[in-house]
Structure 1
Amino acid sequence: MARYHNHQIKLTPRYIEAIHELLEAELEMMQEQDKDYSDCWSWGICTIGNFSKPNHLYLTFGDEESRPKGMSQDTCVREGD
């Protein structure tokens, strides 16, 4: 569950869509600019943690071989612990 200090917060649809857009933009940018390793940029996940922390967004990217099982779309937004 996303949090702000000890308070649970509900992520808004607009916020979730913005994170998907960020992931898509980074995938696109890196596929275009990192030609030698463009296949390493197949999917991206953003895990959202505690908003009171400086690094509350944790981004993970990978190639098709490392795609998490069951991940059918290229981007995923999820809430951390």
Structure 2
Amino acid sequence: MEILLWLVPSAVATAVAMLWVGWLGREGRGEVDRDVAVRRIAAALEPERRRRRPAPGYAAPQPERDRSTGVAVRPSRRAS
């Protein structure tokens, strides 16, 4: 048990840092400018045809799916 005592300082430092960041992050939450919020909602609800986004595409075609039967079969040898 004594060997775990070296973890105590790092655990205390981590706990203090988490509490400090949590406390600092509380301020400013919930206060959103009404005009900014209205602009964000309007942009999100804008019809798709007005948005100028490129159509999603893929760099390479999808490979054909292998129809597996669930049975492993070795290729047959050619008779010579």
Q: TM-score scaled by structure 1?
A: 0.29
Higher fraction of strand: 1
Larger Rg: 2
Higher fraction of helix: 2
Q: TM-score scaled by structure 2?
A: 0.29
